[in-house]
Amino acid sequence: MSTEKFSVKQILNMEACTRCGECTELCSAYMGSKDLKLSPPKKIELLKKRIWNKSIFGKLLGKKDLSEKEMEELLRSAYSCTLCSRCEVNCPINIDLKDMWISLRENMVSEERAPEQLELLRERLMKAKNISFDTNEGRTDWIKPVPEVPENMYIKKSAKVIYFVGCVSSFSPRTFKIPRSIVQILQSAEVDFGLLGDDEWCCGFPLMSSGFAKDFEEFAVHNIKKVNNTGARILVTACPSCYHMWSHIYPGAVKDIKMNFKVLHMVQYLYMLAKDGKIKLNPVESKVTYHDPCDLGRNSGIYDEPRDLIKMIPGVEFVELENNKEYATCCGGGGNVESIDTELSSNIASIKAKEIIATGADIVITACQQCVRTIATGLKKEKSRIKAVDLSQLVLDSIKAGS
């Protein structure tokens, strides 16, 4: 293995890891498979073994690399990870494991071992600039049924707020309700907002998380330039992965272009609007629980705003999930696992669904279109009638309840 894809810090972390197993207990891939081969310590041991085999001692013992069986094991575990970061929470020495798994995937890509599905995803993204099979011109098709949409469909040359919709909400009909709700909320709050339309490219998260690190920078540069051109002061997005890219990855990856705007997740923005009295929340009688999306909670540290916003809605009874905030379990929809190992993704979703059912809630709220999709499927599999909705949908229901 070339170690060039791993940083000095990452190899130091591999040496520092004692395989104590605190991460295994929380690992989504392990929970969904009960296979220790997918656990973080096993991955680290295989990586260390690879480094050792390539070192002078390995060569003296006649080793060159991992055996083909071990290599397959490493590849499988690399792409079975949902990148949820839950493994990091209890690590006694705070290892940034998610970063390590992404570097591992980069390594697999550089050795041309990445799964075919992801190579296809890359091709599609590089060509169409979105994760669907459609061309990018259809990015705003979802908006058509929304009432009172102007002719320009909010694709403006300038706006105070840019709503970055994201690929899943733009192209997956199962999640169209989310951007539609958001637009209606922004309309009711009389926000001067705009959409980028077909100028909006994928945020690059699927590329970065699949190990195609170099390719995503082109997407970052394009998106930053387009938002800068609108003169917007705020960029909001309802997708936690897009939010994580904009707020945590873009500033480090694109040093030459300054972002002239603030990046907020939609829950933060809606909370601000509600707090400032720009949207009026009316009673909604429901018992709800909240699922922390991994990229919004653990990976970006946003835990309070969604909870505060839910509690601002009169009539709502809020119950926490057993595993919440940094301990929240993954929905199974992250890390492109859904396209690599459907069964594993479905098992993880089932664990989440059972936890939701145990709360006795009528609705599970989240702040991620992908989580809504995966949780809804998980709940259906568990034959539950609990509804999975995005927080924006609940807020819109609350606004509409007054009319």
Partner 1 sequence: MKIELVSIHFWIIHILIIFGFIGGVFYKVSNILKGNLIIDNKTLISSRWSKFWFLIRKFFRNFFSKKIGLILAVLILDSIIHVKLFRKNKLKWLAHTCIFWGLVALFILSILSGIAVEVLPAFGYEEGSCGFVDALADKDFWGTAFLNEWLNIIILFGIILAFIRGFITKKSKGLFMFQDIFLIIFIILILVSGWFTESTRYIIEHTPRYIAGIGYFGYYLSRFLQFTFRQVSEPGWALSYRIFWHIHISIVWMSFIYIPFSKFSHVIFSPLASILNVFDKKKHTGDQY
Q: Which residues bind partner 1 (CB under 8 A)?
A: 3-13, 15-22, 24-25, 36, 39, 41-42, 45, 51-52, 55-57, 90-96, 248, 251-253, 255
By the 8 A CB rule, do 250 and 216 touch? no
**Residue 375 token pair:** 């949780």
Contact yes or no for 226/200 (Cβ under 8 A): yes
> Residue 183 CB, nearest distance to partner 1 (Å)?
31
* Nearest approach, Cβ of residue 153 and partner 1 (Å): 34
β-strands 363-366, 286-290 pairing:
parallel
Minimum distance between the CB of residue 387 and partner 1, rounded to whole angstroms? Answer: 35
At residue 360, φ and ψ (nearest 5 deg) are 75, 15
Alpha-carbon distance 299 to 391, whole Å? 19
* Residue (217 or 382) nearer to partner 1, CB: 217
Closer CB to partner 1, 87 or 114, in the complex: 87
Q: How far is the CB of 365 from partner 1 (least distance, A)?
A: 27
Nearer to partner 1, 25 or 192 (CB): 25
* Between 18 and 403, CB nearer to partner 1: 18
Q: Tell me which H or E stretch contains 399.
A: helix 391-400
Give the total residue count for the chain. 403
> Do 314 and 281 form a contact (C-beta atoms < 8 A)?
yes
Nearer to partner 1, 17 or 195 (CB): 17
The CB-of-116 to partner 1 minimum distance in angstroms stands at 28
Structure tokens at 241: 């992965």
**Residue placing its CB nearer to partner 1 in the complex, 97 or 279:** 97
| Shortest Cβ 254–partner 1 spacing (Å) | 9
DSSP string, 244-297: HIIIIIHHHH--SS---SEEEEHHHHHHHHHHTTSS------EEEEE---TTTT
Choice between 90 and 187, CB closer to partner 1: 90
**By C-beta, is 87 or 182 nearer to partner 1?**
87
CB of 401 to partner 1, least distance (A): 39
Which residue is it, tokens 């009960």? 34
167-205 per-residue burial string, b: 16 or more CB within 10 A, e: under 16 = bbbbbbeebbbbbbbbbbbbbbbebebbbbbebbbbbbb
Q: List the alpha helices (DSSP H) in 93-212.
A: 97-110, 116-128, 167-171, 177-188, 205-210
* Comparison of 46 and 186: residue with beta carbon closer to partner 1: 46
CA distance 278 to 373: 29
Are 158 and 131 in contact, with CB atoms under 8 Å apart?
no
For residue 150, the minimal CB distance to partner 1 (Å) is 38
3-state secondary structure of 365: strand
The nearest distance, CB 252 to partner 1, in angstroms, is 3
